[in-house]
Amino acid sequence: MENNIIKWIWQHKDYPNFKYDKSKLGNLLTQIEYNRGILDGISKLFSSDDIVKIEIETLTDEAINTSLIEGEILKRQSVHSSFKKKLDKDFDAKNDKYSTIVTDNLVEILIDSNLNKSDLNLDRLHGWHNCLFEHTQYSKLNKIDIAKFRSHSNMEVVSGAIGHEKVHYKAIPMERIDEDMKNFLKYCNENSENIYIKAALAHIWFVIIHPYDDGNGRIARAITDYILSQNNSNTQFKLYSISTAINKDRKGYYDILDRTTNLFLNKEFDLTYWIIWHLNILNGAMKQSLKNIEYLIAKTKFWDKHRSKRLNERQIKVLNKILDIGNENFEGGLNTKKYISLTKVSKATAVRDITALVEFGCIKQIDGTAGRNVRYEINLK
Any binding-site annotation on 253?
Answer: yes
Chain-centroid distance of CA 80 in Å reads 13
141, 203, 235 from 130: Cα distances, Å: 18, 20, 28
Task: Tell me: is residue 220 an annotated ligand-binding position.
Answer: yes
Query: Residue 381: which of 321, 294, 302 has the closest Cα?
Result: 302
Is 227 assigned to a binding site? Answer: no
Best CA proximity match to 148, nearest among 158, 137, 156: 137
- Crossing angle (nearest 10°) for helices 26-43 and 272-306: 20
Instruction: Find out whether 214 is annotated in a ligand binding site.
Output: yes
- CA contacts within 13 A on the Cβ side of 215: 28
Instruction: Name the amino acid, one letter, at 50.
Output: D
Question: Is 146 annotated in some ligand binding site?
Answer: no
Given 12, 129, 203, 210, which residue is catalytic? Answer: 210
CA distance 280 to 323: 29
Angle at 302 between CA 300 and CA 307, to 5 degrees: 95
- Cβ atoms of 222 and 265 within 8 Å: the answer is no
Q: Note if 210 is an active site residue.
A: yes
DSSP 3: G
Q: How far is CA 113 from the centre of its chain?
A: 13
> Is 219 marked as a binding-site residue?
yes
Q: Residue 250: how many CA atoms within 13 Å on its side-chain side? A: 11
Residues whose CB falls within 8 Å of the CB of residue 245, separated by 6 or more in sequence, listed in order: 281, 282, 284, 285, 288
Known binding residue 255? Answer is no
Q: Is 269 left (phi over 0), alpha (psi -120 to 50) or beta?
A: left
280 is in an annotated binding site: no
Q: Is 320 annotated as a binding residue?
A: no
- As a whole number of angstroms, the distance between CA 84 and CA 58 comes to 12
Distance CA 109, CA 73 (A): 17
Tell me whether residue 322 is exposed, middle or buried, using C-beta atoms within 10 angstroms of its C-beta: 0 to 12, 13 to 18, 19 or more. Answer: buried
Residue numbers in the known binding site are: 214-221, 253-254
* Annotated binding-site positions for ATP: 214-221, 253-254
Residues designated catalytic: 210
